[in-house]
Amino acid sequence: MKKIPIEHLVKGVIELRGKGDCITLLGIGPMSKLLLKASFELSKEKNFPLMFIASRNQVDSYDLGGGYVCNWNQRTFMSAIKKASKEVGHNGLYYVCRDHGGPWQRDKERSDHLEENVAMEIGKKSFREDLMEGFDLLHIDPTKDPYSFGKVTPMDIVLQRTIELINFCENERIKMNLPEVGYEVGTEETNGGLTSIHAFEQFINKLNYQLEVKQLPKPTFIVGQTGTLVRKTQNIGCFNYHNAHKLANIASKQWIGLKEHNCDYLPDNILLQHPHLGIIAANVAPEFGTAETRAYLELIKVENELFDHYEIKEKSNLEEILLEKAIKSKRWKKWMMNLDSQLDASDILKDKRLAYEILEISGHYTLNEEDVKTEIKKLFLNLKCKSIDGERFVLNRIKRAINPYVECFNLKDSSFRIIKQLKNSEIYN
């Protein structure tokens, strides 16, 4: 299928909404190779566009530390996506997106309290790699300023940094003779300064005016705070129906799509409202990683039973290694509430309930560890001897996690509907 620029895709979705055919696009966090494959399989079956949203912690230049997902940099990430697409026989629409790009977006950059000029140069270097490797959308997010911790980053500073980064990216793109890319602006972070409707509208207006003056492209997406907040394996936020509707209308009047972050674990009754509210896209990441981890834990139960009944001679050590690695990663701290940050791994392992809660939250951060991969292979081989396809089980559990979003967001056959709309639109005429 011929690639449609993501900015045209979004305009097509906005136009369809005006005709009563409302769609919310889904951004999928690329947590593993199996998640890529599962996404392509489901997209092929249901005919909807894919958006893979990679943060800088997940995928980045090796010079900047690489990424925890399969140790991918931008080039190897793109290669893995193409390989998964080809393996599945997927020939539909898919888009590779930078999620939360810019300064201080790697955990270490914030903990090191890098000076602004240093952090901005690092953010630019990462964006340059994104452009060179063919990313379709760049999220420009300069709000994670360690010097504004607990405070609101002033809007004028966010605007100035956003424009500087878009200007840099456009200059680099033109210099390298690369096709146009889409831009996403704003943040869901409460210290981003865009939490109120007034601030949101003011930001769009000021940004678009300054971009027009500098002859730079308007953003494709703007992130709005709809009240979502992910902690543990729940969405503990309070979804605000009226705010979401108002934010979406403000954005769509300027042909910009409202993008919601932290959509994980929302109940169906809220997800079903997203399309008609005008939320053009929503990001989900940790939920799908948790779905994969839970799938491995179910397979481990099967393996344990086979071992107990002398069906296999030796079982894998996956459960113990996953537990140890997940706890030692400390990446669970982002998602936990009211937990003593000074607790060490040995303290946590003494509390079985807490240890497995942490494993479900952060097991996917460890899947690229060599010993974890070795034990997964052992697990799959043990199950295969008993005619159990472990990999297929994991793939299907990931697809099961993604599918409610496909259903609630009215995505089935949406690629066909969007393309048909664009062919009849003045965008292409």
pLDDT score of 190: 43
Element holding 284 (H helix, E strand): strand 279-284
Only one residue has tokens 């831009």, namely 183
Structure tokens at 224: 């709005």
d(CA 243, CA 197): 7
Ramachandran angles phi, psi of 149, nearest 5°: -55, 130
The answer to whether 163 and 120 are in contact (CB under 8 A) is no
The answer to whether 23 and 13 are in contact (CB under 8 A) is yes
- Close Cβ partners of 16 (under 8 Å, ≥ 6 residues apart): 22, 23, 417, 418, 421
Q: Which amino acid is at 57?
A: N
Nearest C-alpha neighbor of 167 from the set 115, 204, 203, 124: 124
Which position has the higher pLDDT, 190 or 208? 208
Q: What is the dihedral of CA 46, 49, 51, 52, to 10 degrees?
A: 50
Could you report the per-residue pLDDT of 199-226, keeping only the tens digit for each?
A: 899 999 999 999 999 999 999 999 998 9
Per domain, the residue ranges of the chain are 6-286+402-423, 289-397
Ramachandran angles phi, psi of 76, nearest 5°: -70, -30
Say which DSSP state 424 is in.
T
CATH of domain 6-286+402-423: 3.20.20.70
Long-range CB contacts for residues 5-8, cutoff 8 Å, separation at least 24: 5/136, 5/179, 5/180, 5/182, 6/51, 6/95, 6/97, 6/136, 6/137, 6/181, 6/182, 6/220, 7/180, 7/182, 7/217, 7/220, 8/422, 8/427, 8/428
Q: Which amino acid is at 84?
A: A
Share of the chain above pLDDT 70, in %: 94
- pLDDT level of residue 350 (50, 70, 90 thresholds): confident
Share of the chain above pLDDT 90, in %: 79
Its pTM stands at: 0.94
Mean pLDDT taken over the chain: 93
- Close Cβ partners of 327 (under 8 Å, ≥ 6 residues apart): 345, 348, 349, 355, 358, 359, 362
Could you report the per-residue pLDDT of 85-106, keeping only the tens digit for each?
A: 999 999 999 999 999 999 999 9
Q: With 50 as the cut, is the pLDDT of residue 11 above it?
A: yes
CA angle 420, 244, 257 (to 5 degrees): 35
Q: With 90 as the cut, is the pLDDT of residue 429 above it?
A: no
The answer to whether 181 and 133 are in contact (CB under 8 A) is no
- pLDDT level of residue 328 (50, 70, 90 thresholds): confident
Q: With 50 as the cut, is the pLDDT of residue 66 above it?
A: yes
The answer to whether 51 and 137 are in contact (CB under 8 A) is yes
